[in-house]
């Protein structure tokens, strides 16, 4: 029964994350134009930060330990539905096939560097909040 509850939370989180991804991706395309996948880049950076920050903060060693179901709701459900590395791959190939290899390389580099940096920042922020309070 507990497994079914966790699956249900993942499904709800996935639905929320997917809708948020769709909305943010569309908003970025409207705001900045469709020439570069800014929405996917932003989504991947935000998702990298959220999954690492939340995971560190709410894990067994975190300051705000949460039940397993709550953790998978956010990390597997929301973040899994929100982040878009499959879209990232397709858009990279589409840029290259459209005769824009420089943009494709820039997109890959920016996604990897900013995503990893956001992950490190999320971990550092959570570690700071997890540190024992002084005084």
pLDDT-derived band of residue 1, with 50, 70 and 90 as boundaries? low
pLDDT digits (tens, 9 = 90+) for 102-113: 999 999 999 999
pLDDT value at 50 more than 80: yes
Task: Return phi, psi of residue 37, to 5°.
Answer: -80, 65
pLDDT bin (cut points 50, 70, 90) of residue 86 is confident
* Residue 132 binned pLDDT confidence (cut-offs 50, 70, 90): confident
Q: What would the mean pLDDT of 81-104 be, rounded to a whole number?
A: 92
pTM for this structure?
0.81
Q: How confident is the model at residue 97 (pLDDT cuts 50, 70, 90)?
A: very high
Mean pLDDT across the chain, nearest whole number?
93
How many percent of the chain have pLDDT more than 70? 99
């Amino acid at each position: 029964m507990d497994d079914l509850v966790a699956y249900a939370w993942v499904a709800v989180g996935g639905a929320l994350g997917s809708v948020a991804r769709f909305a943010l991706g569309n908003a970025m395309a409207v705001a900045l134009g469709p020439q570069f996948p800014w929405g996917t880049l932003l989504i991947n950076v935000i998702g990298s930060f959220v999954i690492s920050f939340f995971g560190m903060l709410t894990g067994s060693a975190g300051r705000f330990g949460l039940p397993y179901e709550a953790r998978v709701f956010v990390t597997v459900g929301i973040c899994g539905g929100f982040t878009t590395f499959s879209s990232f791959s397709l858009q990279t190939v589409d840029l290259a096939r459209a005769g824009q290899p420089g943009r494709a390389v820039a997109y890959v580099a920016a996604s990897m560097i900013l995503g990893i940096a956001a992950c490190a920042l999320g971990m550092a922020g959570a570690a700071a909040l997890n540190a024992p309070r002084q005084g």
